[in-house]
Structure 1
Amino acid sequence: MIDVFIFGSGGHAKVVIDILEKTEGYCIIGLIDGSKPRGTSAYGYTVVGDEEYITKYEGNAMGVVAIGDNWLRSKVVARILKIDNNFKFITAIHPSAVIARGVNIGDGTVVMAGVIINSDTVIGEHCILNTKSAMDHDNTIGDFVTLAPNATTGGNVTIGNYSVLSLSGSIIHAKVIGEHTVIGAGSTVLTDMGSNVVAYGTPARIIRIRAIGEKYL
């Protein structure tokens, strides 16, 4: 049994709690959230402190960062590793997810209910693959990427670090999305999209430049 800290205590954390409760081999030992008072609870698990708390735990715990925003999630990961450079992150995968042969999923990534990942797709670290999102064969998904519920990619798609494919968005075969880019809800991507842009529509068109770390949720 692996002891696990969940970093975060909001809505996304509740989804991660549910995944881990349905997955054998994990024991949730507490929530880490410096923005909430100690004793705050979610689904019966208690906020025990901020990131510094991991230095006080006497066991060999691992963790998962349950924060929806890509940039904020990366900042929390960086703080954790600054406190303990040897801290390890789990990959949380809902039992109903369908994961094909040859798939590689990075540490810290959360795979939610109904997700489909097809053959030889590579998923980076600390990603969120949300409910019923689907990736076809040979995709390359960077670190700190989010696919929202029902987002879909064709085969051989590349999505750069920190980018987002929003609710029910889709990307056709072999297209490339740069880093820090947000594809809006319901959009259909028919051409490559560069980095640091917001694009939406069918077909998706670049609407404006996007600053690194700009909120999108």
Structure 2
Amino acid sequence: MHPRPPCRSTHTFTIAGSRVAYDRWSGPGRPVLLLHALLFDRTQWWPLAADLAASCTVVAPDLPGHGESPMWTGCTPEQVAGVLARLVESLGLRRAPVVVGHATSAPLATAFADHFAVHGVVTVDEPVDLAGSGPAAVVAASGVDRVPERFRSFAEPREDPGLVAAYRSWLDRPSTLRPVPHARHPADDLNPPRFTPLSDPESLASRIQYLL
């Protein structure tokens, strides 16, 4: 599995002043929207996307204030979901996406499913409670310490208190069940977070492919 396959291309999407940088792997079939954990960026998905690209179209955006996406005036889960829904629509694939939320992006995956058509939702490493937490706790809750050495360069957090403050509404939300096909296994609740996109990309790819 190679994290930088030739089919990966980088783009920007702008609507109503909100700009998103994103990578796209132009495989066949249904879109899969990969949402990185807060304080990380879209590169955390490169190894997994390389594995998925043969069976779907993979889209991995940088969330507002992360990577190459500038901060927006508003970045509630609902606001970000609205922009990302338009991004997916702009690809012209005419198929509802599978939405994958990692760790602190689980509320975004839920908001997307609540307001827009989805084919399924996958969440992994979702933290139990980060209300009032600072950057170090947010990073630790993702399980980044369990990323294998060969993938460490794809998981370099930005421990910015201002960024955590901007996303406080995400961190203070409780976990909820999803009323859509959902590939979150009960065993996930019994195991500590392990940054699954990089510690076990093959297994996560299988869970996503099950929903395609």
TM-score exceeds 0.5: no
| Larger RCO, structure (CA 8 Å, separation 6 or more) | 2
- What's the TM-score, normalizing by structure 1? 0.33
- What's the TM-score, normalizing by structure 2? 0.33
Greater helix share, 1 or 2? 2
Greater strand share, 1 or 2? 1
The structure number with the bigger radius of gyration is 1
